[in-house]
Amino acid sequence: MDFQPIERPSEAFQQSVTAEQVVAMTRRAFGTHVQVRAAVELGNGTYNNTYSVDLTDVNTGEDPHESPGEPSGANPRRDRSVILRVAPEPARQSRTDHAFLRNEVASIPHLAPIAALMPRLLATDFSQQVVGRDYVFQSLLHGVPAPEGLAAYPRASWAAFYRNLGAITRVVHDVRGERFGPVSGPAFDTWSEAVAAHLDDLAADLDDLGLDATDVRRLAQVAVAHRTVLDRIREPRLLHGDLWTVNVMLTPGAPEPTVCGVFDCHRCSWGDPEADWSILLAGRRPGTERDAFWEAYGPLTNADEARLRRLIYRASHLAAARLERHRLGNHVGVAESYDEMRELLALLPG
């Protein structure tokens, strides 16, 4: 077996599993007749450990994972590649990223409108008996990672990509839910309760890391003070939570950049569509190719209350980014987040 993990310091948040553990997870998921030829860790994520795993199915005549319609035993030896994603150890997870992989699995049925773009779930193990961590196997999405693929196109054609992204985001946001909060819970009856609970958890997570969370608690107080404005959002809509360039694939060789895959849905939740990460990023550089996003998604309302809500969401994303920057060892970014938050809080009434 060719095993290629990413070497990291012992204090790093992400920690690879071992070659023996990859084999054990594979055998539990697919059976002892499946052999692992190679497992290569992919470095484009910052939370789960993700591996491209090459398998050989030595068909015993009763392979439950044969393709539909394939005669049993018709292909005695079959090579294929799958994706293995392993969650961090439970003790490494914080309140705001707790059981992300379980949240993603719970989100899959609600993401049915974009199922053709998503990897298929092949196996799930949340027992934590094999490696003490949750893990899933998924089908391999074919295509080119968008950050790499976009660079191959002239900048003038990037508008097509953002228009495509806007259309997909609209499809996701059109899915309706019943209560607010992460798909796998906890659930809240009102949007203001969900926002306040998230900010409280963020503040507690920062406390655990020894970081000053005073400004995040102040933001939570502002959100509570404006709960009437937040609770104008009465219908929960599905939010992807991380739908942007790093989590999509492009069709190889297409005449213009075209999305052919969407992955990493572990931040899915129910809430106000304007609180979604893609909405924040799409509006960050007006006057550029990102404006094409709104052509497909539709315009945002410019009413005073909507602008107030978007300020609260922007500050909430910044608080979450502070946590992520600390996890990645970006100490300069952590320090800068305090100045950025001070500026945002100055714009918020109360």
In the chain, CATH 3.30.200 covers 2-139
In the chain, CATH 3.90.1200.10 covers 144-347
Q: Where are the alpha helices (DSSP H) in 190-291?
A: 191-208, 214-225, 227-230, 277-282
Local structure of residue 67 (DSSP, 8 states): P
For every one of its 350 residues, what pLDDT tens digit does the chain have, with 9 covering 90 and above?
999 999 999 888 899 999 999 999 999 999 999 999 999 999 878 899 999 999 998 865 444 444 444 444 445 668 899 999 999 999 999 999 989 999 999 999 999 999 999 999 999 999 999 999 999 999 999 999 999 999 999 999 999 999 999 999 999 999 999 999 999 999 999 999 999 999 999 999 999 999 999 999 999 999 999 999 999 999 999 999 999 999 999 999 999 999 999 999 999 999 999 999 999 999 999 999 999 999 999 999 989 999 999 999 999 999 999 999 999 889 999 999 999 999 999 999 87
Q: How far apart are CA 249 and CA 37, in angstroms?
A: 25
Q: How far apart are CA 185 and CA 47, in angstroms?
A: 20
CATH code of domain 2-139: 3.30.200
Task: Give SS3 for 80.
Answer: strand
Q: For the chain, how big is the Rg over CA atoms in Å?
A: 22
The shares of helix, strand and coil residues in the chain, as percent rounded to the nearest 5, are 45, 20, 40
Q: How far apart are CA 170 and CA 28, in angstroms?
A: 38
Q: Which CATH superfamily is domain 144-347 in?
A: Aminoglycoside phosphotransferase (APH), C-terminal lobe (3.90.1200.10)
